[in-house]
Structure 1
Amino acid sequence: MSGPYILVVDDEPDIRMLLRDVLEDEGYEVALAGSVAEAKAARRSRRPDLILLDVWMPDGDGISLLKEWNEDGSLPCPVVMISGHGNVETAVDATRLGAYDFIEKPLSIDKLVITLTNALESDRLQRENQGLRRLGTTISEPVGDSAVMNSLRDQVQRMAQHDTWVLISGEAGVGKQTFARFLHAGSARRDNPFIVVAVGSLSGQEAITELFGSEQGDRVRFGLLEQAAGGVLFLDEVAEMDLQTQGRLLHALDTQRITRIGGNQPIAVNVRVVAATKVDLAEAVHQGRFREDLYYRLNVLPLKIPPLREHPEDIPALLKHHMEHLHQQEGLPERRFQAGALERLRRYHWPGNVRELRNFVQRLMILGSGEEVTREEVERTLSGQTLGEADLGAVKLFPDLPLREAREQFERQYLIHQLERSEGNMTRLAERVGLERTHLYRKFKTLGIDPKKLKTDG
């Protein structure tokens, strides 16, 4: 794998050449720009992993350029400012606009290399932690010591040594994303991004824009394919992708080229695709809902994750893991399971699989009392855990409507219900429903939901 791609923007040719030689020796891929105009063109042609940006240039200044790139409230990659005329005010402005650091000339090469390493690592960890918060756990590898789990881990470790596409299938909640992250962590791409595409939250043109990005004049929006450069693109519930997007995605990945919406310049992409599905993709192909060529492209390395009820011997380890994790991460009081409680949970069928188990443990830790979890408490908690009596109790179904209308009605009621439970907190809501905040705002707009009005009415 090639190293991170760094764009160096500086009006002094000698400094540009020196930085290129130093950074290439460090294993980075480097592009050079000597002006604001060249910097804009270079950034448009390919998304950098990091930008080294000079403050003063012949046709503008780096602070103004930083402000333009930060227009949406966040930079697309880490930016390290460099200047021979720096002052405290300039450094403060750069930091306020999102710059990772500010380095004065003459440059200390050792300091520069350390700063770039830290900036790239900080960015990687931030993206990883965001994804793990949405996943609801920080499992580094799938938990369990059964023959089933040992076999699955062995399969994944062997798959990780190759760069082929992978299709992970299994019921909802079995941990498909956990296995995908485990695969990524063991691969040669481990130091590069793991980008999740919540396919079910996208549709039509929105999906194409989200995946391929867009550009209009100097404004560039990098799509998820570019954000995943060098790493993994994880297609969560890939069966929900519409046929048009399927075709365009397959062509882009086969040719390793994309064109942003509104753009005309082909851009190279290098990603590994890992897809997940809870439905039978072969049946979806038979019904005409999924492209046959994409199915065979995805299904080179299939990985089937069995439901939890098929390896109940892993339930005690999972209960212990989630109890310890919730205690460490959320400060919830740690408790012990009595033997009778463990036996009852081993015999429970867990229709929601590992996800349901984690939610169950969290409920016991929040609502329960005492150091030990008894069988009676388990029975009481399980009896109140049916779907109709829990999170979706206030959400109605619409069996007499056409599928599209029924889905929109359900989504509208579901999101309003979850917004109320999150007390209007969009960050909490995004984590609860498993969507990016940008996806949520688009979904609200599509469904005609006004979060501010709902908060006012409440």
Structure 2
Amino acid sequence: MSASHILVVDDEPDIRNLVKEILEDEGHEVVVAENGASARQALRDRRPDLVLLDIWMPDVDGITLLKEWGEDEGLPCPIIMMSGHGTVETAVEATRLGAYDFLEKPLSLAKLLLTVERALEAEQLKQENVGLRRHSMPVHEPTGKSPMMQRLKEQVKRIAQHDTWVLITGEPGSGRETLARYLHMQSVRRDRPFVDVAVTSIASENSARELFGSEEGGRIHYGRLEQAAGGTLFLDEVADMDLEAQSQLLGALDTGAFLRVGGTDPVSIDVRIIAATHKNLEESVQSGDFREDLFYHLNVVPLRVPPLREHPEDVPDLLNFYVDHFVAHEKLPYRRFNVGAQNFLRNHPWYGNVRELKNLVQRLLILGAGDEVSQDEVEAALGAPELRSGDGGGDVVSFDLPLRQAREQFEKAYLEYQLHKHEGNISRMAKDVGMERTHLYRKLRSLEIEIKDRR
């Protein structure tokens, strides 16, 4: 399941078959194309992890294909150019257009294998960096030594060894995505992509294109299912998926294939589904908002993430974890929570769960002074004059800021409250706050509010 899918495009049969055999011996899945037309078809059939592309071919040259594939959304994967008649100018042009590297013929097999390995590693690192920038936290084991968390982690390790679908339930901020990423890293699919989909952020009219991709005017947009090929697709707040998308997803996963929007050829898929929700899906089935057959597919292995108030003995470990994180990654000054502060926080209700605790730690490290965080400082931080966002996340608006900054914080708190009130439904929220939906999306992005985090 962790084998990379490589496309070799070359008009010389001896070369493409030799390269195919060598790469297959290294454990990769390889398809070949003899010209530009068959290369285009191969990209329609399946998204590759890497392309080895000859420059000189009878119907269309490799540089033209490189330009074509790089339009709009950029190259679908790393592309290594090959040529027996290359010039410095050609190599420079290929690099300018986004090619990962340029190999001269006759090929050095040692250099070929090394370049392929480095290109695949670079692409994996790139995807990991994208995930870290978006989520700000590296993948880590859920924090906590309580019996409840130890049982949960043992469950995850057992489930990870079996390729079943998983349904994660839990309150907002409790760490559902952290658990999903940890499960993926424990599984045999760990070297393949982890693709997360915030279902609420996808407009119903675009859900099919986002999930299944599209073919328009000869151009291919790869949807989330293909981006997760061989890996894990994480559907966050799956209860908010519209019924048509539910039906299409169920059909694709039942048959192992689907059609892109506008496409005519079925695309095969191999992906594990992990879904998450804070809602009761059984109630959604009873009300007709969620398909019963999809629910039973997803609910093969249910996992419940407990709210923080059910395992308060883990609060000290969580405090230490987030202090270390902000010191290491945001260069904030190290501060230690004294025993009084820790005991006080163990009895805090934590309506916003782990996310609220994380936000509190960050605020105390930014605004506080001294090596120690006292109980008085914690109480002041939790009870200071402020406007709260209303979702339990701990985000505040201070009255001691300049007007411009206070206005920005109020807008963020107000919109987070509305997101929580409408359970992430942007259409209803836009109507309630009196904003056009596109403008609302733009405002949420500018304030760095992640829709899926605020339900």
Q: What is the TM-score normalised by the length of structure 2?
A: 0.88
Tell me if the contact between 1:135 and 1:434 (Cα under 8 Å) persists in the aligned partners. no
1:137-176 equivalence runs, <5 A: 137-176=137-176
Tell me if the contact between 2:237 and 2:452 (Cα under 8 Å) persists in the aligned partners. no
Structure 2's unaligned 5+ residue stretches are 391-395, 398-408
- Could you say what secondary structure the match of 2:276 adopts? strand
Q: Which amino acid in structure 2 is aligned with residue 233 of structure 1?
A: L
Tell me if the contact between 2:95 and 2:101 (Cα under 8 Å) persists in the aligned partners. yes
Match of 2:205 in 1: 205
Q: For residues 149-184 of structure 1, what are the alpha-carbon distances to aligned partners after superposition, in whole Å with 9 as ceiling and x for unaligned?
A: 110110000001100100000000111111111111
Q: What is the CA–CA distance in structure 2 between the aligned matches of 1:380 and 1:413, rounded to whole Å?
A: 38
Note closer, same or farther for the CA distance 1:228–1:408 as it changes in structure 2 (3 Å cut): same
> Does the alignment pair 1:124 with 2:124?
yes
Q: What is the CA–CA distance in structure 2 between the aligned matches of 1:340 and 1:11, rounded to whole Å?
A: 74
Number of residue equivalences: 428
> Does the alignment pair 1:191 with 2:191?
yes
Q: What is the CA–CA distance in structure 1 between the aligned matches of 2:452 and 2:91, rounded to whole Å?
A: 35
- Could you say what secondary structure the match of 2:51 adopts? strand
Tell me if the contact between 2:139 and 2:181 (Cα under 8 Å) persists in the aligned partners. no
Tell me if the contact between 2:193 and 2:227 (Cα under 8 Å) persists in the aligned partners. yes
Note closer, same or farther for the CA distance 1:294–1:41 as it changes in structure 2 (3 Å cut): same
Match of 1:286 in 2: 286
| Shift of residue 78, structure 1, vs aligned partner | 1.3
| Shift of residue 407, structure 1, vs aligned partner | 2.0
Match of 2:106 in 1: 106
Q: Which amino acid in structure 1 is aligned with residue 428 of structure 2?
A: A
Note closer, same or farther for the CA distance 1:404–1:342 as it changes in structure 2 (3 Å cut): closer
Q: For residues 73-97 of structure 1, what are the alpha-carbon distances to aligned partners after superposition, in whole Å with 9 as ceiling and x for unaligned?
A: 5211111112222233322222222
C-alpha RMSD over aligned residues = 2.5
Match of 1:409 in 2: 431
Tell me if the contact between 2:200 and 2:452 (Cα under 8 Å) persists in the aligned partners. no
Tell me if the contact between 2:2 and 2:191 (Cα under 8 Å) persists in the aligned partners. no
- Could you say what secondary structure the match of 1:17 adopts? helix
1:3-402 equivalence runs, <5 A: 3-384=3-384, 386-388=388-390, 389-390=396-397, 392-395=412-415
- Could you say what secondary structure the match of 2:413 adopts? coil
Match of 2:450 in 1: 433
Note closer, same or farther for the CA distance 1:178–1:29 as it changes in structure 2 (3 Å cut): same
| Shift of residue 268, structure 1, vs aligned partner | 0.6
Tell me if the contact between 1:234 and 1:273 (Cα under 8 Å) persists in the aligned partners. yes
Q: What is the CA–CA distance in structure 2 between the aligned matches of 1:286 and 1:228, rounded to whole Å?
A: 31
Note closer, same or farther for the CA distance 1:397–1:15 as it changes in structure 2 (3 Å cut): closer
Note closer, same or farther for the CA distance 1:79–1:434 as it changes in structure 2 (3 Å cut): farther
Note closer, same or farther for the CA distance 1:202–1:421 as it changes in structure 2 (3 Å cut): closer
Q: For residues 245-273 of structure 1, what are the alpha-carbon distances to aligned partners after superposition, in whole Å with 9 as ceiling and x for unaligned?
A: 00110011010011001011011111110
Note closer, same or farther for the CA distance 1:92–1:232 as it changes in structure 2 (3 Å cut): same
Q: For residues 213-256 of structure 1, what are the alpha-carbon distances to aligned partners after superposition, in whole Å with 9 as ceiling and x for unaligned?
A: 10023201011111111111100000000011001100110100
Structure 1's unaligned 5+ residue stretches are 437-458
Q: What is the CA–CA distance in structure 2 between the aligned matches of 1:433 and 1:297, rounded to whole Å?
A: 28
Tell me if the contact between 1:80 and 1:103 (Cα under 8 Å) persists in the aligned partners. yes
Tell me if the contact between 1:134 and 1:435 (Cα under 8 Å) persists in the aligned partners. no
Tell me if the contact between 1:131 and 1:196 (Cα under 8 Å) persists in the aligned partners. no
Q: What is the TM-score normalised by the length of structure 1?
A: 0.88
| Shift of residue 134, structure 1, vs aligned partner | 2.4
Q: Which amino acid in structure 1 is aligned with residue 164 of structure 2?
A: T
Match of 1:446 in 2: none
Q: Which amino acid in structure 1 is aligned with residue 370 of structure 2?
A: G
Q: What is the CA–CA distance in structure 1 between the aligned matches of 2:195 and 2:418, rounded to whole Å?
A: 32
| Shift of residue 285, structure 1, vs aligned partner | 0.6
Note closer, same or farther for the CA distance 1:181–1:193 as it changes in structure 2 (3 Å cut): same
Q: For residues 59-80 of structure 1, what are the alpha-carbon distances to aligned partners after superposition, in whole Å with 9 as ceiling and x for unaligned?
A: 1221221111111252111111
Q: Which amino acid in structure 1 is aligned with residue 248 of structure 2?
A: R
Tell me if the contact between 1:215 and 1:260 (Cα under 8 Å) persists in the aligned partners. yes
Q: Which amino acid in structure 1 is aligned with residue 327 of structure 2?
A: H
Percent identical pairs in the alignment equals 54
Q: What is the CA–CA distance in structure 1 between the aligned matches of 2:439 and 2:357, rounded to whole Å?
A: 25
